[in-house]
Structure 1
Amino acid sequence: MALPGTSADHQDRSVTPSDLPTILEQLTAGAARWAAIDPRSRAEIARRTACATVAVARAWADAAVEVKQAPGNGPSRAEEIATGPMGTARLCLLTARSLLDIDRSGTPGTASPPRVLHPGRRSVAGTPAPLIGLDVLPARGPSGTLYDPLIHGGLRATIRCHDPGGPAAFLKSWQHEADQRPRGGGVSLVLGAGNVTGLGPADVLCQVFEHGRAALLKLHPLQSSLETVFTVALAPLIEAGLVAILSGGADVARSAIAAPQLTHVHVTGGRATYEAILFGGPRPSGPAPQPRLTQSISCELGNVTPWFILPGRYSTAELAFQADQLAASIINNTSFNCIATKVIVTCRSWEQRQAFLGLVQRRLASLPPRPGWYPGAAAVWSEATGHASPADGTLPWSVVCGVDPARDGRLLEREWFVPVVAEVPLDAGTLAEFCSRALGLSHRLPGSLAASVTIPSGLPETARLHAEQLVDHLAFGVVAVNTWSALAYSLGNVPWGGFPGATMLEPKSGIGFVHDPLLLPLVHNSVIRAPLWSALRPPWFAWHRSGTRLAQGVVDLYGRCAAGQNCLGILLRMFPEVLRG
């Protein structure tokens, strides 16, 4: 039976490794044509891709929960909708709007014009002085509102860019970037990650619309069953000769990299995979080994993700809400996320520390462990915890409290891709001292992708300034205040990648950014902020009673936005589900 929005013939257009030479030639020709297409026409293809994605959203979720060995209507389905078709459709809509804005005025529109942050400030510990800031919420789609105040209520997002000499100079640089970067040309190999189904399609959209490259998407073996779904979702790009999709193992990737038509590689995965691409195998010994890869490369390689809980007085509701958010960041996708919380940083003398950790532990204990579906996860969990993994194949949530990095930093030295978290209590007599020691600890953690910081309300002015200085100086691509940093990825218009400074030999959390439909120049990092407490339970909490219905409702809403249709009916149907929690 054909999937929605396509024909049976369309689903049979699978690509095999033997087709590589022909496919790469076709992609090369497609990229050359793409360079001559005006922004308005590109916007139309992005809009049509949003429509195609929405049409196949339910089939996408069906296939994804099967990969995750999860019940078809359980909390995993809400997660798969949100990180798959919802995120992909939103990114398409944001891209379409940016291209229409470029066609009209030369640069994409944002919620606020560029402004100078911290004018007159001197550089401290490598932080540029000053920065340019742009607020990007609420965002808009090609037909107008995306209803961000309702869907992302209370959330703020500021992208921070290096200052080339004030807002006028920045706008000039931005206009040049928006004109030239999408005409880069060439063909990119996109090596899709296996943990989240939306990553591969999103990376393809980035290569095509943000860099002007055609893209060959090589699916992770875990996601080979989604090849037909992705073929339908990306059909407008495939029909334009800009995208091809194939499954296979490392041999397929090696063949593509060896092809003369390939000009770029983008990989989302682990450090070992990156080094195998760069060197053709394990990293050679020596301080400066010579890469064998001749093409340019961009990557996102994960993170030992910290969540800093600043000491202070929290109300009962605030403490519980922050504990729930932290627990949800561990539960989501069984912690098979590059930004699953791995380190909880507290103050040893904080009087609410034990109460907070107890709330986190109780929330985790209230939900059953999930299957360890990611390859090798059971062995990694056993190594991390020192216990045999359960015979039923699940991976229990594990929080190891009171870890002293000076005595046993094992859990902090690598990204454990399982639901195991270390709590590190820092000795500090004041909030200023805690912030200083927290910043020092952050420099020891591998990775620079994202971090979260919880800040108590009602701080005295001096203490508040210390808290903001910590946020300002954390060297991560995204810093999230009072919420999980993954929300930045879900927004679609917050550049996602490691903190600047990575090189091919020392890539840290990655080289370059994805999710940059605004085509911003000189990106430094981004800060998102959320209220310390909300009366409404966020739908991304695994225990939300209506998470799946709300996630599908947002997908349907984006479909109507893409079609230029009224969304009032969908919003009215979703409202009771929001209140149910």
Structure 2
Amino acid sequence: MGTTFDETEIDSALSDLIAGEKAWAQTSLRRRRELLDEIHTRTGRFAADWVRAARTWKGLDEDSPLVGEEWISGPMTLLQATAALSATLTALEQGRSPLDGRALTAAPGGRVAVPILPLDVYDRLLLSGFRGEVWLRPGVDADTARRRAGLAQLDPTATAGIGAILGAGNITSIPPLDALYELYAHNRVVALKLNPITDPLFTVLEMIFAPLIELGVLRILTGGVDTGGYLVRHPDVAHVHMTGSAHTHDAIVWGPGPAGQERKSDKRPLLDKPITSELGGVSPTIVVPGEWSDADLRFQAEHVATQRLHNGGYNCVATQAVVLSANWPQKEKFLAELRTAIDKAPQRPAYYPGSDNRVADAAAAYPDAQRLGPGQRRLLVENLPQTETPLLRTEYFAPVLGVVELPHGGGEFLQHAVDFANTELTGTLGVNVIAHPSTIKRLGVAFDDAIERLRYGAIAVNAWTALAFLAPRASWGAYPGHTIDDVQSGIGVVHNAFLLDDVERTVVSGPFRPAPRSLVHGELALSPKPPWFITNATAAATGRKLTEFYASGNPARLPGVFVSAFRG
């Protein structure tokens, strides 16, 4: 779909939403839940069309294992989200808190932790060894958490106007998930403008969201910068949410160019309404030194390569800086494995606009960087300065990875690495920590304290923070506290299917080794190499089978999932 909505069509869509807001206010919790169930069914029905559209514009061959990324981060993610939101609405409909029956626990620093993974037998089977919880802000007790869970659905008649969403152009589930969050967390009807990259999804999303479109609470628009600018500044729009870069955010809030910079300096925003955002940044992976086997070194190098190169490197939470101990005896072996993993990762087109230019910019800033992979279009920059260098300040949104070495060992390294991540890197969306189980055990409370001190909206221990994106009840967004004049990785959260208030961060963890090595070394985890790994040979088949399972809920589909996953 290449059509651009003109101003008259946008005016008409917003007029429809003004009427739709009245309909939404009169829509019962039961009907709101039924709408989610209908969208769930329709997502399963049109999942293959969704994936076909995405792989076409991303230039992926039909039989490429990388198509698994489109199944997993596209329709599968929306299926999980609609099911989780439906469960929350069921509880509220019955007069219960969405957290009833959930054992809330204590997190470091006097916080309350809400478990979000695993929650049922299917989580335990499909994500064996993975864990996750949402930490609430300090001072929020368990009773308050239960009472506030539900957000705007605690008073569904109190609607909040029209929310304009500027959709992402990379991960295809982001725009529909954002639309659901506006409707259900904030009680705002939605004008969703797709990023032009994702325009081929227009028809698929209209078919999936037909129940909400027919009710008049959702309109999907297409167009470029002018369309988005007209939409967000329209007097009928009460709130704006966007996914993208801090540069785009500032152009919306303050205006483009020197005039915008002047307004920002004078604190005179051009945008006259609230804005929330998810903006990415320079995400680090901290590799804690320990005694690793050759298989551990190879697997974790593939893990880091995946964190950088998944979806071609066009992820807001893609790792851009690896933080190592200069004194780690296995440092050189790990770096050799990392170079190999990056170099041998599957070839794919640079589909996101400007990617090659951003790689060229990084190459100009670091002329000694290693060029790896097919066509030498991937950049690895070793021996980065520890401060005031572009790679630590600029989100390249391209296959560029830097390595910083800190002159510390053991627990001292981890404490300094946390300080480095908190103070030297732009953004607070996600941080990964990789550590051998015996190292974690040895560090004990010091390790827990280090995790608490990380100021990031998502923290992954022996996992990738993308798991927090995929888990429907996890919160997703920057660490709280950013403002429109220092936006970093954004303001507010999304996903959060429990509809929790007072969210601070999500913490996820996974097994250090895949099965069966995990079992041999005493980790109670049956998960093989995760299907989101770029080296997973059966990722496409596994992703499709997982999507079919979440669409149907039929346990008879699970053996096929397991067979495919273990062959990966």
What's the TM-score, normalizing by structure 2? 0.91
Which residue pairs with 2:536 in the alignment?
A: 544
Q: Does residue 278 of structure 1 match 2:253?
A: yes
Residue 453 to residue 71, structure 1, CA distance change in 2 (3 Å): same
Aligned partners of 1:107, 1:269: CA distance in 2, in Å?
A: 33
Which residue pairs with 2:484 in the alignment?
A: 504
- Match of residue 473, structure 1, among 453, 464, 467: 453
Which residue pairs with 1:121 in the alignment?
A: none
The 5-angstrom pairing of residues 194-209 of structure 1 reads: 194-209=169-184
Which residue pairs with 1:235 in the alignment?
A: 210
Aligned partners of 1:111, 1:453: CA distance in 2, in Å?
A: 31
Which residue pairs with 1:293 in the alignment?
A: 271
Aligned partners of 1:350, 1:61: CA distance in 2, in Å?
A: 43
Query: How many residues end up aligned between the 2 structures?
Result: 549
The answer to whether the Cα contact below 8 Å between 1:277 and 1:293 also exists between their aligned partners in 2 is yes
Which residue pairs with 2:523 in the alignment?
A: none
The answer to whether the Cα contact below 8 Å between 1:455 and 1:467 also exists between their aligned partners in 2 is no
Code of the aligned partner of 1:31 = E
The 5-angstrom pairing of residues 422-461 of structure 1 reads: 422-459=402-439
Give the drift of 1:138: 2.6
Give the drift of 1:256: 1.6
Which residue pairs with 1:158 in the alignment?
A: 133
Code of the aligned partner of 2:561 = M
Give the drift of 1:46: 0.6
Aligned partners of 1:56, 1:440: CA distance in 2, in Å?
A: 45
**RMSD (CA atoms):** 2.5
- Match of residue 402, structure 1, among 368, 377, 383: 383
- Match of residue 501, structure 2, among 521, 526, 542: 521
- Match of residue 392, structure 2, among 387, 412, 417: 412
Aligned partners of 1:339, 1:437: CA distance in 2, in Å?
A: 18
Q: Does residue 189 of structure 1 match 2:169?
A: no
- Match of residue 555, structure 1, among 538, 544, 547: 547
Aligned partners of 2:407, 2:348: CA distance in 1, in Å?
A: 35
Give the drift of 1:373: 1.6
Q: Deviations over 1:256-308 (max 9, x none)?
A: 22322211111100112111211232332364421121121110111100000
Code of the aligned partner of 2:131 = R
SS of match in other structure, 1:75: coil
Code of the aligned partner of 1:548 = A
The answer to whether the Cα contact below 8 Å between 2:99 and 2:146 also exists between their aligned partners in 1 is no
Aligned partners of 1:393, 1:230: CA distance in 2, in Å?
A: 34
Which residue pairs with 1:329 in the alignment?
A: 307
Q: Deviations over 1:525-557 (max 9, x none)?
A: 111011111121211112222211111111111
Code of the aligned partner of 2:329 = E
Residue 559 to residue 460, structure 1, CA distance change in 2 (3 Å): closer
Residue 241 to residue 395, structure 1, CA distance change in 2 (3 Å): farther
Q: Does residue 247 of structure 1 match 2:247?
A: no
Give the drift of 1:451: 0.4
Which residue pairs with 1:339 in the alignment?
A: 317
Which residue pairs with 1:573 in the alignment?
A: 560
Aligned partners of 1:96, 1:478: CA distance in 2, in Å?
A: 24
SS of match in other structure, 2:231: helix
Q: Deviations over 1:212-268 (max 9, x none)?
A: 111111111111121111111211211121111111111111222232221111110
Aligned partners of 2:439, 2:172: CA distance in 1, in Å?
A: 41
Aligned partners of 2:47, 2:295: CA distance in 1, in Å?
A: 36
The answer to whether the Cα contact below 8 Å between 2:328 and 2:409 also exists between their aligned partners in 1 is no
Q: Deviations over 1:86-128 (max 9, x none)?
A: 111111111111110111243214773223334xxxxxxxxxx
Structure 2: stretches of 5+ with no match in the other structure:
516-527
Give the drift of 1:452: 0.2
Q: Does residue 31 of structure 1 match 2:9?
A: no
The 5-angstrom pairing of residues 311-390 of structure 1 reads: 311-386=289-364
Aligned partners of 2:216, 2:93: CA distance in 1, in Å?
A: 23
Structure 1: stretches of 5+ with no match in the other structure:
1-10, 119-128, 562-566
SS of match in other structure, 1:290: coil
The answer to whether the Cα contact below 8 Å between 2:136 and 2:503 also exists between their aligned partners in 1 is yes
The answer to whether the Cα contact below 8 Å between 1:40 and 1:100 also exists between their aligned partners in 2 is yes
Code of the aligned partner of 2:473 = N
Aligned partners of 2:100, 2:344: CA distance in 1, in Å?
A: 41
Give the drift of 1:12: 13
Q: Deviations over 1:150-206 (max 9, x none)?
A: 222211111011244632233333367651488442111110111222211111111
Residue 370 to residue 42, structure 1, CA distance change in 2 (3 Å): same
Aligned partners of 1:379, 1:68: CA distance in 2, in Å?
A: 18
Aligned partners of 2:395, 2:140: CA distance in 1, in Å?
A: 39
Aligned partners of 1:73, 1:110: CA distance in 2, in Å?
A: 44
- Match of residue 485, structure 1, among 453, 465, 488: 465
What's the TM-score, normalizing by structure 1? 0.89
- Match of residue 91, structure 2, among 97, 101, 106: 101
Q: Deviations over 1:418-471 (max 9, x none)?
A: 111000010014422442343234321000000000122223866232222111
Aligned partners of 1:280, 1:441: CA distance in 2, in Å?
A: 30
Q: Does residue 87 of structure 1 match 2:77?
A: yes
Aligned partners of 1:459, 1:197: CA distance in 2, in Å?
A: 37
Residue 328 to residue 296, structure 1, CA distance change in 2 (3 Å): same
The answer to whether the Cα contact below 8 Å between 1:193 and 1:199 also exists between their aligned partners in 2 is yes
- Structure 1 window deviating more from structure 2 (186-195 vs 29-38): it is 29-38
The answer to whether the Cα contact below 8 Å between 2:152 and 2:187 also exists between their aligned partners in 1 is no
Residue 291 to residue 360, structure 1, CA distance change in 2 (3 Å): same
Which residue pairs with 2:522 in the alignment?
A: none
Which residue pairs with 1:117 in the alignment?
A: 107
- Structure 1 window deviating more from structure 2 (480-489 vs 281-290): it is 281-290
Residue 482 to residue 247, structure 1, CA distance change in 2 (3 Å): same
SS of match in other structure, 2:270: coil
Code of the aligned partner of 2:55 = V
SS of match in other structure, 1:402: coil
Residue 520 to residue 332, structure 1, CA distance change in 2 (3 Å): same
The 5-angstrom pairing of residues 2-151 of structure 1 reads: 17-109=7-99, 112-118=102-108, 129-139=109-119, 147-151=122-126
Which residue pairs with 2:145 in the alignment?
A: 170
The answer to whether the Cα contact below 8 Å between 2:428 and 2:478 also exists between their aligned partners in 1 is yes
Code of the aligned partner of 2:210 = A
Give the drift of 1:368: 3.9
